Each structure stands twice: as C-alpha cells, then as structure tokens.
Chain A
Amino acid sequence: MPLPQPSEALNVAPAGPTPSRTSLQGTLARMRARLGTHVLVVGGLCLAIAVILTLLDGNFPKKLLYSLCIGVACTTIVDLTRLAEAWLSDRLRQSRGLPPFDDLNGWRGALPGSVLAVLLGPGAGVWLVELFTRQPAESMLNLGSSSTRIIIAFSVLGTVFAVVVISTMERLSAARAQAEAAQRLAAENQLRLLQSQLEPHMIFNTLANLRVLIGLEPARAQAMLDHLIHFLRATLNASRTEAHPLATEFDRIADYLTLMGVRMGPRLQVQLDLPDALRALPVPPLLLQPLVENAIKHGLEPHVQGGRVTVSARADGAYLVLDVRDTGAGLGRDPAATAGTQFGLSQVRQRLSTLYGQAATLTLQAASDAAGGTLASVRLPTLDPAPPKTP
C-alpha cells in the first residue's frame, strides 16, 4: 500500500499537533479499544482447536480447558511483552532527552512475545489448568499422554498464529490511521497557509477600495485589479510551485505593496532593491510575503503617521540575504501584535527548515538606525547551483 510519507506532509509549513502521549499509553489505549476482537479471535481459535482434537479422540471438556488456558497464557505473555517493549522505548526516548512520542506501533514486541509464548506458554497454561481443576496436571517434564502433548502443541501454535493475524491487522490499520492523520495535517496546513495569505480583512478592504476607485478613476481601478489578480494567482499557486526566480518574488511583493499603497495612501512608502545579478536566483514562492504583511500590519498600520517598507536582496558569500524592514511601531510594544506576528514568522521558519535544514535562518530584530522599526532578515544558501530540495 503506497503511504504518503509524513515528511511530505510537514513540508507544507507549520508544525501540526505532535502526539505527546507515550508509547505505553498509546499501546494500552489500543489494547483496550481492541479487547473485544482480541478475546473473540483467541477464544474462537481455542474452541476450534478443542473441537478438532475432540474429533480425533474425544474428551471435549479436557481439550477445551487445556486449549483455553494455554491460549490465555500465551496471549497474556505476548501482550505483556508488547507493554514492556513500549515502556522500554519510552525510557529510551526519555534518556536521550526526547519528548514522549507514540509511534502507533506497539507490535514490535509481538515477535519476541511470540517466542516467549512458545517457550513459556505451555508451562503457564498447564499451571492455569492446575489452578482451575485444583489437582495436579501432568507434570511439564513428564507430559503423560500423547494427546495432552498434541493439545499443547496445537494450542501454542494456534495462539501464535492468532497473534500474527491480529498484529498484522492492527499494524495495517495503524499505518492507515497514520497515513490519514498525515494527510489531514497536510490539508490543514495548506488551509492555514492559504487562510493566512488570503486574510479576509485584506481581501475585503482591497475590494472596497476597488469599488470606490471604479467610480473615481477607472484606469487606476483597472491597474489595481490587475495587481489583485496577480496577487491572488500567485497565492493560490504558491503551494504548487517549488521555486520561482527572485525577480518574480519581488514582482509579487510589489503587487501586494501597490494594493496596500492604494489603501493606505500617503501613509505607506515603498522601496524595493533587487540587484540585477540576483534576479534569476530561485527562491521558494511568496517566502517573504508573511514578513512584508507583518511589516504593514504590525509595523505601519498601528502607526498614525505610517512609514516606509523596504525590501532588499544582497549576496553575502555563498548566501542570499533578503531583508524586510519597516519604520513602524517596532517590536514588543503591543502584546497582541507579537502574538499575531508569531504565526507568520513560524510559517517562514518552518518552510526554511524543511527546504534548507540548518543552512537557512530568519532573524527578527529592532532596526539599528534612527528611523526605528523592525528588520526581518532571511539568509538562504541559495547561491549553490543546485535548486532547493523538492518538497
């Protein structure tokens, strides 16, 4: 069954909810959820074995008792081994300082469990028989009649078979659940990305401006509409394209800033600096968009006088540095603003780390000169001739 890899889902952007329960908790929960099936399969199998053996040489009650006791003993051994394995893997993660994680696979313990069940199951089963009948069964070292030996052999093999069947079933369903969760996460992330870019305030305010402009200056309204169309098309395509030239990135930012310029009037000044030598460099599409949006929304919009947004690109050794700078409110004044900013920032960080690993960074700091405001700076190893890794 082709399964989408989880890493593919995470490429889209922000981290989804990470499962924080431990492997032990997860395994216990799954055991509890499947208790009914488990009992039915093992019980049914033991019953079938007892019936078959009774057909051979009679004495159904004895056959049933033995096969049930051995079945229960083997199942218990397998399940205890699974729990022990889950507990061990939790301890192992803990000792490495990793957060608890339920990998949805408590069945790694099934194989050693089955071996243990073959070795210990018969003894434990016979002991159970003794416990129920309150009289000594045939001793383990001297298993009397050959029929008892056959019962034991059948029961053990049957139980192990049941374990293999159930574990395979469960592994498949766990894999399916994992695949579904990954797909859901990918879809959610894509939706969140899209929602953050097609922010309703931005869209409806732009449309409201357009509506007024149509009556006042039809030519300018048309130009504004063209920018809006470019912006929307780029936003909707961004998740489907791996990279586009830096010049295109700057064009899309220009679209957005032109739209904002119509809305904010003289309160917004824009400056875009893209050296010719860097125009063709591939960058992930709309990487800078959230940073430019933050500069407007949290930097300039709350500022009565407005200010300037400068977007610039420069080469720094084997790196490409992209700066988004505003002369607005600056960092840390409004707590609500910081919370809002975080989403855009974490989105950019997530994309950078999926595409470039440790090699790319995003920093946010107060601008160092007298004009004040905030400087967001992205550093990419993109001067490498190889294009960014395919998502």
Chain B
Amino acid sequence: MPRCLIAEDEPLLAHGLRQELASQWPGLEVAAMVGDGLSAVTQALALRPEICFLDIRMPGCTGLETAQALAEDWPDDAAFPLLVFVTAYDDYALQAFGAQAVDYLVKPVDPPRLAACVARLQKRLAERGSRPAVSGLEQTLDQLRTLLGASAGTVAGSPAGAAQRLAVIQAQVGSLVHLVPVEEVIYFEAADKYVRVVTAEREHLIRTSLKELLPQLDPQTFWQVHRGTVVQARAITSARREESGKVTLTLKGSTDKLTASRLYAHLFKGM
C-alpha cells in the first residue's frame, strides 16, 4: 500500500488535504503529517514514503529547500518519492511542471484537480512497479535544478539580492576580528547557525547563514556543490563520480574531501 507524507503548516489545510485524499484514494496511507520543513526532511528520510505533498511556504525551510535536502540525502536503496508541491499562489516557477513527475497543486485545492493529480501519481507508481530500475530521481533532479535556479534568479533580481560582492570575510573570535580575503577561502560549510570558513592555514566560524552569504560570492569562482557546501573552483583538483551519483572532490591546500550532491553532480563532467 502506498504511503504519503503531508507537510503543511496550516493545520486546517493539512486536515483538509488528508480528508480529500482519503475519499479520492482510500488505498493511500498517510504516514506522517508535519508542520515545518525540517520535520518533513527527517520524517521523510525515516519513513521513506512513496509520495510527499510539500507546502511551498513553511516555517523552518521552504518546500523547495525540503525537496533539495531530500534529493541530497535520500538513500540509494530506496526509490525517490514522487513530489507534489502545494502553494496558495500560482508561482510561475511551478508552472513549468505541467505534466511531469513532479506535480503541483494550487490552494484551495478543488476535488477535480486533486483527482487528476491522484491519477497521475497512481500512473507513475504503476510504471515504477513494472520497471523498478526507474527511480525517477534523475528526472526529479533535473526539475529541482531548474526550480532552484529559477528561485535563485528571482532573489538575485530583487533589490536585496543585488548584494555587493564580498572581498574580505570578517571572522570574530572574542574581541579579535580576523580578516580573510575571499580568494584564500577553499570552501565554506554550513554548520547549524554558523558557517565554517576553511583556508589552507586554518578555519574560522562566522555567524551568518550560507543562504545570506551565497549572493555575496562570485558564482564563477565559488561553486555550490551541496546545500551546505560552497567551494572555490580553483581549489578543486579532481572529482570522482561515485556509484550513488554523488561526486567526491579532492582539494588543493587541504586534505579534506568534499562531497558534491547528486543535485550538483552535473557541474563535474569532462570537457
């Protein structure tokens, strides 16, 4: 019996979707209902449902960020869930998904539209059952890349996104502030509410989020290779593609090995 996860922060809407699904698809079991993005990630990874309904605007992290985290951390031995985004407003980025593996619903969801979505999901699951090799992950990854690129584009277009490029990272330790030129940074790594700044000599912690830092870095020089990792392209010496689709990066000036997630693996291919 297929199982689904519903991530929706408004309790009535979560309840409504569950009820509507129960009447249209009695065979679908709701494995979990969560109200924020972070719980959605942990619950989905723990329960491995076949389908995830993700609200776009949620506290913690958005539906898109949830999907990104799932795509990066999903275990290799399970089929990637079918994603259905739910939004109150017709986000243009989502319209790109007319008839593909990832569907989207606009709130309030009317029963005929949900019926179409259910039919599409059932068809997908049936295809998957007959050809277990097709996990649908690659297709989903492509769509997610487009989506994330599109949403990053809108941020860059907004006045706040037109941020100045950062020349020097200022890392404070007690009353001392270290100035680190960005070109000396090998990679940035998100660590809870901080970002680790790693150079050849040492590493610093700065109290900012990777999301805030990213628009201030030159995308030609610094590549995001994981939702939590941004690396200076010149510091990468080699990239090895693993069986899982992830890519292991070796670095110049550091013995650390970094992992590029499947979402960013397309950055590394021979010329």
Q: Does A200 contact B (CB under 8 A)?
A: yes
Q: Are B12 and A204 in contact (CB under 8 A)?
A: no
Q: Does A213 contact B (CB under 8 A)?
A: yes
**Chain A contacts for B36, CB-based, 8 A:** 304
Q: Name which of A106-114, A160-168, A331-339 contacts chain B.
A: A331-339
- B42 smallest CB distance to A (angstroms): 13
Q: Give the nearest-CB partner of A300 in chain B.
A: B59
Q: Mark B89-127, 1 if CB is under 8 A from A, else 0.
A: 100000000000000001111000000000000000000
With contacts A304-B59, A339-B160 taken as known, whether A264 is within 8 angstroms of B10 at the C-beta atoms is yes
Q: Are B108 and A211 in contact (CB under 8 A)?
A: yes
Q: Are B160 and A336 in contact (CB under 8 A)?
A: yes
Interface residues of B in 144-170 (CB under 8 A from A): 155, 158-161, 163
- B58 smallest CB distance to A (angstroms): 9
- With contacts defined as CB atoms under 8 Å apart, how many contacts are there between chain A and chain B in the complex? 77
Q: Are A211 and B16 in contact (CB under 8 A)?
A: yes
Q: Mark A196-218, 1 if CB is under 8 A from B, else 0.
A: 00001100110111111101100
Q: Does A366 contact B (CB under 8 A)?
A: no
Q: Are A208 and B109 in contact (CB under 8 A)?
A: yes
- B209 smallest CB distance to A (angstroms): 8
- A204 smallest CB distance to B (angstroms): 4
With contacts A201-B57, A208-B88, A304-B59 taken as known, whether A339 is within 8 angstroms of B159 at the C-beta atoms is yes
With contacts A264-B10, A302-B59 taken as known, whether A339 is within 8 angstroms of B158 at the C-beta atoms is yes
Q: Give the nearest-CB partner of A205 in chain B.
A: B88
With contacts A205-B88, A336-B158 taken as known, whether A263 is within 8 angstroms of B12 at the C-beta atoms is yes
**Chain B contacts for A207, CB-based, 8 A:** 107-108
Q: Are A200 and B108 in contact (CB under 8 A)?
A: no
Q: Are A204 and B108 in contact (CB under 8 A)?
A: yes
- How many angstroms between the C-alpha atoms of A304 and B60 in the bound complex? 6
**Chain A contacts for B10, CB-based, 8 A:** 205, 208-209, 263-265
Q: Mark A258-287, 1 if CB is under 8 A from B, else 0.
A: 000011110100000000000000000000
Q: Mark A305-338, 1 if CB is under 8 A from B, else 0.
A: 0100000000000000000000000000111101
Q: Which secondary structure dominates where chain B touches chain A? A: loop
- How many angstroms between the C-alpha atoms of A102 and B159 in the bound complex? 26
- How many angstroms between the C-alpha atoms of A301 and B56 in the bound complex? 13
**Chain B contacts for A333, CB-based, 8 A:** 209
- How many angstroms between the C-alpha atoms of A167 and B16 in the bound complex? 68
**Chain B contacts for A334, CB-based, 8 A:** 211-212
Q: Does B38 contact A (CB under 8 A)?
A: yes
- How many angstroms between the C-alpha atoms of A301 and B88 in the bound complex? 15
- What are the 5 A-B residue pairs with the smallest beta carbon separation, nearest first? A212-B16, A339-B160, A208-B108, A208-B107, A204-B88
Q: Give the nearest-CB partner of B163 in chain A.
A: A335
- A134 smallest CB distance to B (angstroms): 62
**Chain B contacts for A209, CB-based, 8 A:** 10, 12-13
- How many angstroms between the C-alpha atoms of A195 and B78 in the bound complex? 45
Q: Does B15 contact A (CB under 8 A)?
A: yes
- How many angstroms between the C-alpha atoms of A333 and B209 in the bound complex? 8
- A285 smallest CB distance to B (angstroms): 26
Interface residues of B in 2-45 (CB under 8 A from A): 9-13, 15-16, 19, 35-36, 38
Q: Does A38 contact B (CB under 8 A)?
A: no
Q: Are A303 and B59 in contact (CB under 8 A)?
A: yes
**Chain B contacts for A263, CB-based, 8 A:** 10, 12-13
* Most chain A Cβ neighbours within 10 Å, of B10, B57, B161: B10
- B65 smallest CB distance to A (angstroms): 12
Q: Are B59 and A201 in contact (CB under 8 A)?
A: no
